[in-house]
Structure 1
Amino acid sequence: MSTEDINLIAEYLSDPELKDLSSTPSVDCIVICASAILYQAEYLFELLQERPSVSQCVVLCGGVGHSTEFMYDAVAQHPRFSPIAKDIHGLPEARVLERILDTFFDRSAIADGGCRILIEDQSTNCGRNASLSRKVLDEAGFQALHTCVVIQDPTMMRRTKASFHKAYEDQPSSPSFISCPVFIPQMQTSRDGELEYQNLPRGRNLWPPDRFLELILGEIPRLRDDGNGYGPRGKGFIPHVELPNQVEEAWFRLSHGFNASR
């Protein structure tokens, strides 16, 4: 399997419109969709402590779904957050993020700096992340957003941003949604021929390589606008997404190589 193909698909799915929030102008809203990649929440919470004015509000988003156990495991294995591992089982993913925020960061300093923390703890998929985040924002008085940064697991970033566009498609002037994966997962071949990650963020654990490949390979068919995809000609969960030819070609090569190796 070609690491060039893996990295091409991973970067496309990460949709890195904004790589660093620390120097960006202030925005109306940041939505972080909870996942097992805790580095993103750690990055965001540290930034909010230092610069709460970066956003008027932050939505912690995520219910209990098929991947929630991965998040519990990630907390248990985290060098900083593991002390709360026994306390979070059964909690929705957004409440896990809230527990991390309250235990390891200064939430009151963030609030005193003018940033409201909102909780959306019912969603179980990308589409619901978007529609229920909008509901929480509307109920909190944030009904006229102009700019909204979305943080999500990099393997799902592009689809998540499309879901937010879908959730606001009835508005005459939709907010500008800016994707911020925080980091872009990239792989290389080790000296013994195994796949490994390049430059792990702060030494944090990411997905096992096979799990990562399954995620990125499964994501491309969802983005397609055909009878089996999530676009308007398929399930209608997201607006049309343009898949570049080089991404489709890389997916074809990678999927055949991955299946052949199993």
Structure 2
Amino acid sequence: MGEKINRGLGVLIPRKNLDQSSFQEEGMASQQLDKSASYQASQSVNPAAKTMSSSSINPDDINLLAQFLAHEQIPASSHPPINTDCIVICVSAVLYPAEAVFKHLERNLQLTKTLVLCGGIGHSTPHLYEAVSRHPDYAHLVPEITGKPESHVLHTIFTRCFDATFIQKSGCTVLLEDKSTNCGQNALETRALLARNGIPEPKSMIVVQDPTMARRTVASFEKAYAPRPPKLLSWPIIVPRVKVEEGELVYNDDDGSMPGVTGTLWSMSRFLGLVLGEIPRLRDDEHGYGPMGKGFIGHVDIPEEVEHAYSRVQRGIGEDLAKR
């Protein structure tokens, strides 16, 4: 396969140089975990979609899991450091983090030298199309973005709804990576793409990812750049929190950390499914993604309190189902 140019913005590297069997295995394993966790969570879902029955689930446990997974190394309330070699946005159905990065770039032209929009077409891509269709500012783009890779969808939003021309003329190179379908691919494809564009060893990199997958994504980049990874920082932008309101689990923005965002987040059942599916992936055992298991990522330390919270949430969902 030859090289492919994306609108003059970035070069996508030949796929034959990468370990496709490993990528496919990670994708299959990921889908199996998603189905198992999401099915269990969805059985208690409220028709209102953003709520979920919660007689046996402690929201503090969910919040602890969400905070751990988001791996927030740059607080949402602060600006990221300037002169970052690269910001990688791993595209997801939660559009707010990418929007926040674009707005930061409009205000701070020294934020980064290179912006990578990362994502192909995978099993979660329909959720992105749906998110665009529901967004008041982007819904008109649906005919143009449907069927396109995730990075192209986000690039369309970037060029149509933000001052992309000004950002790029000011010195920020924008690259599109449109083949990856999981965290491992995100990392390896991004590394190869950057190398093809003269950045073989970035010294610093900020990763913007769906907060439920941020910790695993950073671990994937660490493995991709081993043994000398760049200084990697996770910038999830938001760390979702929940509370109980009238017997239902709902998103909690009492502190104003997610202004106007809660309506654009996952349904509560999907959020819980993502959270519950992520902890088994991070484990370094025969079933997890760590070195003792599938080897997709390096070792990740999971605190005992996180494992206990995970068990309680699983048990709580089971108890709620038994009461139905």
Q: TM-score range by the shorter chain?
A: over 0.9
Q: Is the 8 A contact 1:75 1:82 kept in 2?
A: yes
The answer to whether the Cα contact below 8 Å between 1:31 and 1:60 also exists between their aligned partners in 2 is yes
Tell me the C-alpha RMSD between the 2 structures: 1.1
Alignment partner for residue 229 of structure 1, among 288, 301, 305? Answer: 288
1:225 and 1:232 in contact (8 A); partners too: yes
The yes-or-no answer on 1:2 pairing with 2:2 is no
Instruction: Report the structure number with the largest CA radius of gyration.
Output: 2
- Counterpart of 1:198 in structure 2 is 252
> Equivalent residues in 2 for 1:51-200 (5 A)?
51-170=108-227, 173-190=228-245, 192-199=246-253, 200=258
Question: Could you tell me the TM-score, scaled by structure 2's length?
Answer: 0.78
Q: Does 1:11 align with 2:70?
A: no
Could you report, residue by residue, the CA deviation over 1:61-120 in whole angstroms, capped at 9, with x for unpaired residues? 000000000000000001111110121111000000100011101111111111100010
CA distance in structure 2 between the aligned counterparts of 1:162 and 1:174, rounded to whole angstroms = 10
Q: Which moved more, 1:244-253 or 1:12-21?
A: 12-21
In 1, Cα distance between the equivalents of 2:120 and 2:106? 25
In the TM superposition, residue 23 of structure 1 has moved relative to its aligned partner by 5.0
**Matched-pair contact (CA < 8 Å) for 1:152–1:180:** yes
The question of whether the paired residues in 1 share the 8 Å contact of 2:207 and 2:218 is answered with yes
TM-score (norm 1): 0.96
Deviates more, 1:46-55 or 1:239-248: 46-55
Q: Please say if residues 32 and 60 of structure 1, whose CA atoms lie closer than 8 Å, have aligned partners that are also in contact.
A: yes
Q: Could you tell me how far apart the structure 1 residues matched to 2:248 and 2:291 are?
A: 39
CA contact 1:149–1:177 (8 Å) conserved in 2 = yes
| Higher-RCO chain (CA-CA 8 Å, sequence separation at least 6) | 2
Contact persistence 1:58–1:115 (CA under 8 A):
yes
Q: Gaps (5+ residues) in structure 2?
A: 1-56
For residues 111 and 165 of structure 1, what CA distance do their matches in structure 2 show? 28
1:37 shift after superposition: 0.4
Aligned residues: 259
Residues 74 and 80 in structure 2, CA contact (< 8 A), matched pair in contact too: no
What secondary structure, in the 3-state scheme, does the structure 1 residue paired with 2:115 have? strand
Tell me how far apart the structure 2 counterparts of residues 177 and 118 of structure 1 sit (CA, whole Å): 19
The 4+ residue runs of structure 1 with deviation greater than 6 A are none
Q: Output the CA distance in 2 between the equivalents of 1:72 and 1:261.
A: 32
